[in-house]
Amino acid sequence: MSHHHNRPAIVVDNGTGYTKLGFASNTAPSFVVPTCVSVSGGGVSSSSSSVLTTQSKKEEKDESNFPGNGNSKKKKKKKAYEYYSHHNHASKSLQDLNYSIGEDALAQINSKTIKWPISNGIVNDWTSMEKFWQKTLLNVLRVEPEEHFFLLTEPPLNPAENRERIGEIMFETFNVPGVHIGVQAVLALNASVALNASAAAASSKKNRNGDEENSGNDTSKRDRNDGLTGTVIDIGDGVTHVIPVCDGYVVSSAIKSVPLAGRDLTRFVQTLMRERGENVPAEEFSRVAQKVKEKYCYVSKDIAKEFELHERNPKEYVIRMEGVRAKTNLPWQADVGYERFLAPEVFFRPDMIAEKENGFGQFSLPELVDNAIQECPIDSRRKLYGNIVLSGGSTMFKGFGKRVKRDVKRVVDKRISESEVKSGNRLKAKSVDVEVFTHDMQRYAVWFGGSVVASMPDFYKSCHTREEYFEYGSQVMRSNVLEKEEVFF
Amino acid sequence: MTQFENNNAYFASPFVRNWLLRAIANEDNDQISCEIAHEFDDVSFRCELHSSTYSSKDDVKSTLIALVSVAFPKSNDEKSNNERVTTREKFLSLSSSGAFERGRALGIIRKVRVLGGSDDAEEEEEEQAEFGYDATVEVDLKKLNEAEEKEEMIDLISSVRVYAGYGTLRACLRRLVVEEEEEEEEAKAKRRSFSLRRQFASPSVSMYCKVEEDDTLKEGAEERRSCTVVFPMHVSSSLSNNEDEVVIARAFLAHFAEASRNSAKLSAAPFVSYHKPGQKPPLELTTSVDATTRDGDEVDEMDLNANGGYVSFVIFPRHVKTKESLERAVWMLASFPNFIKSHLKCSKGYWHEKMRGKAEELLETLKRAQKEPKMSAKKKLISGRTYVPR
């Protein structure tokens, strides 16, 4: 058992859009793979068969060079399967063994069916998920799963059955020695705590005094405990979650989630550009829109002023994109204008697309944050306002954190002043500090948090182990190890 | 998986590859930091960036240097430090393989540092690899980014694992094609003595190679010399004692050997044979140390009771004629146990998937067979009549 500890644990953050993979103690995931699997069947049959024939031709060519190479071995394997299938009349089902994942799968979009095993953060297609894990662990990371501990993530409100499924696959198929399932929001908080601590360490190094060092130790400890209380705004590809966390536990009754996130912004940008008649090739439109969203979008302080700025000074604000059509090699050009600030504005004015899509309904993101915190225990609310943490790729817009801070503050102040008026101005409330924590790791905050947690020496104690699993069955996965014993911090 | 354009691509480590691509893509290198990875057979990697200034002939340039280091596992045999260095030297073969010559000529690879220093004493770069690692490749990122052979070079650097290790195996395979004149009489005698060489891929994975000469064939015949590589298959370690995997492995390997024999297309491929675990281990293993010369490695006792049986490949000179095919053969053989292991995982996954499907089907059937709950009391319609369900 002890020798697993020499090897780094593997951190896997399965998201709706992308899966982040890597080794614990790294600062960034080594691989970011689209969470999708392509399976044969469906699509245009003729094109898929032509793909197959060219492949086999190539294989034959290779074989003449060196018979003992990879292809021929793979072929041997294939032969073995054919042999097997011939005897069992199961050749049809064995086609399933031919699949690919991630970018490779997306490249086959014309000839194969693409499956996305995770929707809205929750795994609902376990067959595809297991296939996806097989490829990512064995071919992409090239690890022996038997020799590493794993840290996997789950969304808040993940059904316990899904945790059991994770256990089944990890322990029975992959023989892993131990699994820890971390809640994404808590991991994001962990990331911010670690970054805070390292920033504090850096600053204390700069002005090093004897006194400060002593006191610094204490404060960092206190900060750590405070750090695990906070509100996480997690905006991924598919869902937006506002999750209050108190002392490392998710306040599940207060979670707010809305099916409006990165993907919808991309679509919004696309509609805006299409309605204006930008000359972007149709087949590349969604990719271009995504690029616009990731590279050029920012959050404005005031829409009206921003419109004015754009009108007055289009040279500075309108960006010209250029590209070449894939098929005809003809160049195209398109202007990126108002959508630069209009797209992220959706989070603050949901009525912009609420009619068309299932948007925030009547609540903007700051209101959601406020509502979520108001549903939490009263003694933790100040801390929750004081530590709002951003996580997920769609929080990376310039100025996003400031805007959230300002708007939440407004909502809170408004309520406080209203209640002061109601009390007849006899009671004065202490003003509430709203603090939004932004950092460079936001995009992979959950993964980074996982990496921090999994590189701590206590991590191994907090895992569900193989022995436990085979002793008590899959229900061990239901309980959170955090409830079993206090390990972190 | 995908069709690769050049030879190196398919033994390139995806981790190093991806890291190099990211390092090239972002110029201001603030997103990229030191990263570690741990691949199968306990091989670990570390990649990091250094900005360094160096003075060339007339001006001082600053450039980004990527250090790609690889470490191989320590085998159980390496008890004392002395012994460690010698087994290491047997294993490491970077300086002799000359794989990185091309990268060096282009200036992309600045240095290759190996544990124990480089072979050529004349060269001044007698530097050790990074601490804790066995080999380090220094890559000039700027030059790499500008080079025409970018893809090829990236694949080459990511294959450092193949080129740096597996010295014994490579030496054995090379003996098949090296001309006899190059060898001294003594070495010739040694080769004739069928000595067995053990190669560690990791402490738990070992393979044995034995070069043999068939005296019944005439001198100079291609098939006269052959190398037999035997893998004792330890399917599941003592830690994860998994009986299912052993059973699957036996069936899988038996089919594997049979398929290679029966298929006409694979007639030129190396001959594969499989010894089931109950049977006697292959003769190569039982006659390990040569009686006359006392040369060769002992067979580990653990390897004589492999739970998954023994797979042996017979490699002929035609399989390793060119440099590329030699490296391919080295990689295919070195990664064979892992290749089997990953296929075991996949087939287990496949069966689990089917089992899950069956279980769900059964549950559905059971649900349908459930009796409908009985009406507790007679239901009355509004009009006052009793309602009788049919």
Q: In this predicted model, what pLDDT tens digit does every residue of A476-488 receive, in sequence order?
A: 888 765 555 444 4
The reply to whether B180-344 shares the fold of B6-164 is: yes
Residues in contact with A482: Cβ distance below 8 Å, sequence separation at least 6, in sequence order: A248, A249, A462, A488
A363 alpha-carbon distance from chain centroid: 23
Q: What is the pLDDT of residues A280-328, one digit of tens each?
A: 888 888 888 988 998 899 999 888 898 898 888 888 888 888 888 877 8
Lowest mean pLDDT among A141-150, A361-370, B215-224: B215-224
Lowest mean pLDDT among A364-368, B29-33, B223-227: B29-33
Tell me whether residue B375 is exposed, middle or buried, using C-beta atoms within 10 angstroms of its C-beta: 0 to 12, 13 to 18, 19 or more: exposed
Q: A331 pLDDT exceeds 80?
A: yes
Tokens of A380: 């933790």
pLDDT of residue A410: 93
Q: What is the pLDDT of residues B68-112, one digit of tens each?
A: 998 887 765 554 455 555 566 667 766 555 778 778 888 888 878
Residue type, B130: E
CB A16 within 8 A of CB A238: yes
Residues in contact with A487: Cβ distance below 8 Å, sequence separation at least 6, in sequence order: A458, A461, A462, A481
pLDDT of residue A390: 93
The more confident residue out of A230 and A6 is A230
| Cβ atoms < 10 Å from Cβ of B224 | 17
Residues in contact with B71: Cβ distance below 8 Å, sequence separation at least 6, in sequence order: B43, B44, B45, B46, B132, B133, B134
> In the predicted model, what is the mean pLDDT of residues B124-136?
72
- Chain B hits for A147, Cβ within 8 Å: 42
Q: B33 pLDDT exceeds 80?
A: no
Tokens of B55: 């003075």
Q: Which residue has the tokens 């294959």?
A: B159
User: In chain A, what percentage of residues exceed pLDDT 70?
Assistant: 79
Residues in contact with B164: Cβ distance below 8 Å, sequence separation at least 6, in sequence order: B70, B72, B92, B93, B94, B114, B134, B135
Taking CB atoms and an 8 Å limit, are A27 and B349 in contact across chains?
Answer: no
B37 alpha-carbon distance from chain centroid: 15
SS3 of chain A: helix, strand, coil, percent, to 5 = 55, 15, 30
| Cα–Cα distance list, B142 to B64, B107, B108 (Å) | 7, 10, 8
In the sheet that B310-315 helps form, which strands lie side by side, from edge to edge? Answer: B196-202, B205-213, B225-232, B310-315, B271-275
Whether A146 has its CB under 8 Å from any CB of chain B: the answer is: yes
The more confident residue out of B182 and B339 is B339
Nearest CA in chain B to A440: B31
Q: What is the pLDDT of residues B342-365, one digit of tens each?
A: 888 888 888 888 888 899 999 999
- Chain B hits for A83, Cβ within 8 Å: 255, 258-259, 262
| Cβ atoms < 10 Å from Cβ of A181 | 20
pLDDT of residue A283: 80
> What ipTM was reported for this prediction?
0.83
| Cβ atoms < 10 Å from Cβ of B206 | 23
Separation CA B129–CA B144 (nearest Å): 21
Domain boundaries, chain A: 44-98, 262-345
Tokens of B87: 């087994």
CB B65 within 8 A of CB B139: yes
The more confident residue out of B234 and A90 is B234
pLDDT of residue A222: 42
Tokens of A112: 């194969």
Residues in contact with A242: Cβ distance below 8 Å, sequence separation at least 6, in sequence order: A231, A232, A233, A234, A255, A256, A257, A365, A368, A369, A372
pLDDT of residue B106: 81
Residues in contact with B288: Cβ distance below 8 Å, sequence separation at least 6, in sequence order: B196, B296, B297, B298, B299
pLDDT of residue B88: 65
Lowest mean pLDDT among A38-42, A159-163, B61-65, B370-374: A38-42
Lowest mean pLDDT among A27-36, A295-304, B117-126: B117-126
User: In chain B, what percentage of residues exceed pLDDT 70?
Assistant: 71
Pair type for strands A178-183 and A331-336: unpaired
Q: How confident is the model at residue A225 (pLDDT cuts 50, 70, 90)?
A: low
Computed from CA positions of residues B222, B223, B225, B226, in that sequence, does the dihedral angle turn out positive or negative?
positive
Pick the CATH number of A262-345 from 3.40.309.10, 3.40.50.1370, 3.40.50.920, 3.90.640.10: 3.90.640.10
Give the mean pLDDT of chain B: 76
DSSP single-letter state for residue A298: B
pLDDT of residue A84: 41
Separation CA A372–CA A232 (nearest Å): 11
Give the mean pLDDT of chain A: 79
Separation CA A452–CA B296 (nearest Å): 47
pLDDT of residue A408: 94
Q: What are φ and ψ of residue A488, in 5° steps?
A: -85, 130
Q: How confident is the model at residue A462 (pLDDT cuts 50, 70, 90)?
A: confident
B132: alpha, beta or left? (left if phi > 0; alpha if psi -120 to 50): left
Q: A53 pLDDT exceeds 50?
A: no
CATH architecture for residues B180-344 = 2-Layer Sandwich (3.30)
Pick the CATH number of B6-164 from 3.90.550, 3.30.720, 3.40.1350, 3.30.1460: 3.30.1460
Computed from CA positions of residues A381, A385, A389, A395, in that sequence, does the dihedral angle turn out positive or negative?
positive
CB B250 within 8 A of CB B262: no
Separation CA A337–CA A357 (nearest Å): 23
Q: What is the pLDDT of residues B222-281, one digit of tens each?
A: 677 888 888 888 887 655 567 778 888 899 999 988 888 887 777 788 888 898 887 788
Domain boundaries, chain B: 6-164, 180-344
Q: Helices in chain B by DSSP H: which ranges?
A: 14-25, 81-91, 94-97, 101-106, 141-146, 150-158, 160-164, 167-175, 185-192, 243-262, 283-286, 301-304, 323-334, 336-369
Computed from CA positions of residues B332, B338, B344, B345, in that sequence, does the dihedral angle turn out positive or negative?
negative
pLDDT of residue B365: 93
Separation CA A448–CA A191 (nearest Å): 6
- Chain A hits for B49, Cβ within 8 Å: none
Whether A472 has its CB under 8 Å from any CB of chain B: the answer is: no
Q: Give the pTM.
A: 0.82
Tokens of A395: 């929080």
> In the predicted model, what is the mean pLDDT of residues A239-251?
89
Whether A161 has its CB under 8 Å from any CB of chain B: the answer is: no
Q: What is the pLDDT of residues B300-331, one digit of tens each?
A: 777 777 888 899 999 888 888 888 888 888 88
Nearest CA in chain B to A23: B37
Tokens of A143: 């690890």
Q: How many CA atoms lie within 13 A of A30 on its CB side?
A: 33
Separation CA A411–CA A106 (nearest Å): 43
- Chain A hits for B348, Cβ within 8 Å: 172-173
Q: Is B387 helix (H, G, I), strand (E, B) or coil?
A: strand
Q: Please state at what angle helix B167-175 crosses helix B81-91, rounded to 10 degrees.
A: 50
Q: How confident is the model at residue B218 (pLDDT cuts 50, 70, 90)?
A: low
pLDDT of residue A211: 44
Whether A439 has its CB under 8 Å from any CB of chain B: the answer is: no
Q: How confident is the model at residue B29 (pLDDT cuts 50, 70, 90)?
A: low
Q: Please state at what angle helix B243-262 crosses helix B336-369, rounded to 10 degrees.
A: 120
Closest CA to A343 of A352, A333, A356, A354: A352
For chain A, positions 370-409, list CB contacts with chain B under 8 A: none
- Chain A hits for B169, Cβ within 8 Å: none
Closest partner residue to B346 (CB to CB) among A8, A80, A134 is A134
For chain A, positions 61-120, list CB contacts with chain B under 8 A: 63, 65-70, 72-73, 75-77, 79-80, 82-84, 93, 96-97, 100, 104
Tokens of A33: 């793979």
Q: What is the pLDDT of residues A157-211, one digit of tens each?
A: 889 899 999 999 999 889 899 999 999 999 999 998 888 888 888 777 665 544 4
Residues in contact with A228: Cβ distance below 8 Å, sequence separation at least 6, in sequence order: A186, A189, A190, A193, A245, A247, A248, A488, A489
CB B206 within 8 A of CB B303: yes
A445 alpha-carbon distance from chain centroid: 8
Q: What are φ and ψ of residue A133, in 5° steps?
A: -65, -40
CB B70 within 8 A of CB B45: yes
Tokens of A335: 């202007």
Separation CA B169–CA B165 (nearest Å): 9
Taking CB atoms and an 8 Å limit, are A23 and B346 in contact across chains?
Answer: no
Nearest CA-CA distance, residue A127 and chain B, Å: 6
User: In chain A, what percentage of residues exceed pLDDT 90?
Assistant: 31
Taking CB atoms and an 8 Å limit, are B348 and A172 in contact across chains?
Answer: yes
Closest CA to A191 of A482, A448, A488, A487: A448
CB B128 within 8 A of CB B117: yes
pLDDT of residue B3: 33
Closest CA to A134 of A3, A49, A5, A33: A33
> In the predicted model, what is the mean pLDDT of residues B209-216?
75
Separation CA A330–CA A280 (nearest Å): 11
pLDDT of residue A33: 93
Q: Which residue has the tokens 């195209």?
A: A332
Closest CA to A116 of A35, A1, A224: A35
Burial A468-483 (b: 16+ CB within 10 A, else e): bbeeeebebbeebbbe
Q: Is B139 helix (H, G, I), strand (E, B) or coil?
A: strand
Separation CA B45–CA B132 (nearest Å): 11
Q: How confident is the model at residue A385 (pLDDT cuts 50, 70, 90)?
A: very high
Lowest mean pLDDT among A144-153, B182-191, B331-340: B182-191
Q: How confident is the model at residue A78 (pLDDT cuts 50, 70, 90)?
A: very low
Q: What is the pLDDT of residues A260-293, one digit of tens each?
A: 888 889 989 998 898 888 888 888 888 889 889 9
